[in-house]
Amino acid sequence: MSSEQWKKRCVDEWGLQDAPLPDSVDWKSVYESKPFSRNLLKNSSPYAVCHDSPSEVPPRRALSIPGFIEGDFSDWTTSTEEIPSDMSGIPKGAVVCARPKYSWFTMEQVVDLKAEGLWDQVIDEFQPEIMIQDWYEESRLHEFIYQLHVKLLSADKTRVIAEHTVTPAEDRSVCNHKWKEVSHVFSGYGSDVRYVHFLHRLKNQYLNGFYTTASSGSSVIVRPSKPERLNNIVLSRQVHDCMP
């Protein structure tokens, strides 16, 4: 198949009629990479749980080993940050028998947009939408149990071109153990974006058992910037592909 035929496949499948289509691009490689409309994050559900499960899921059981988190976290860079206990409201000299101890478990991953099949001109000029989506499990552990921070980075991985941060608050008076969605769409972000840095933090608690907050279906998806272009596109991997 010729380069022009591969280019036509890319244009027809992803609605790129208005995108820059230089002859210097290896269109066969682009088509095989399928950079559009698929999840560019690897191992998107390391806890091996799925947000497409029934709307009410049973509470996650406490683990017997403090600090041990069940899951396969390959492809993620992880770290744990212990949170000092707040003793400000305890009178001096009072004996505290048991207080919950909290920690943040951080998971992060960097997506190389060019390595995934995108080319310079389509990022800089066409600026396809970059959609972020994530799910976390509701609980009563704390008022804040989840944080998301996503940055669009330049080629040197140091300059932040755009970013989105959110720390949703939990209503601890009602808890149905449902999955909560967090999402954001980057558009019109300007030139020179080459990497997407995805980071989320999940709060864990230790009190007579180690209770974890789970995530599922984390995703970074590049899609044509105009919604009407998606009408005839079949997504090769849905956002809801949540099992590793």
Alpha carbons 45 and 108: distance in angstroms, whole number: 13
Q: Which of 86-90, 117-121, 172-176, 213-217 has the highest mean pLDDT?
A: 117-121
Highest-confidence segment of 70-74, 117-121, 235-239: 117-121
Q: State residue 209's pLDDT score.
A: 80
Whether pTM exceeds 0.95:
no
Distance (Å) of CA 60 to CA 188, 195, 215, 233: 40, 34, 12, 37
Lateral strand order in the sheet of 179-186: 179-186, 129-137, 215-223
Q: Is the pLDDT of residue 228 over 50?
A: no
In whole angstroms, what is the distance from residue 242 CA to residue 191 CA?
31
Terminal CA-to-CA distance of the chain, rounded, Å? 33
More confident call, 37 vs 208: 37
What's the CA gap between 190 and 70, in Å, rounded?
40
- pLDDT for residue 233: 37
- Judged by DSSP in three states, 19 sits in coil
pLDDT-derived band of residue 92, with 50, 70 and 90 as boundaries? low
Question: pLDDT at position 244, please?
Answer: 45
Report the pLDDT averaged over residues 193-212.
Answer: 92
Q: Does the structure show a pLDDT above 90 at 168?
A: yes
pLDDT at 231: 41
Confidence of residue 64 (pLDDT cuts 50, 70, 90): low
Residue 29 has pLDDT above 90, yes or no: yes
Q: Do 122 and 19 contact (CB within 8 A), yes or no?
A: yes
Across all residues in the chain, what is the average pLDDT? 85
Averaged pLDDT for residues 102-131 = 96
Distance CA 41, CA 23 (A): 28
C-beta atoms surrounding 179 within 10 Å:
21
* Residue 229, pLDDT score: 42
More confident residue, 229 or 198: 198
Mean pLDDT of 179-202: 96
Q: Exposure of 225 by Cβ count < 10 A (0-12 exposed, 13-18 middle, 19+ buried)?
A: middle
- pLDDT band per the 50, 70, 90 thresholds, residue 68: confident
What does the pLDDT read at residue 97? 61
> Which residue has better confidence, 200 or 63?
200
pLDDT at residue 15 tops 60: yes
Q: Please say if the pLDDT value at position 174 is more than 90.
A: no
Of 218 and 83, the structure prediction assigns the larger pLDDT to: 218
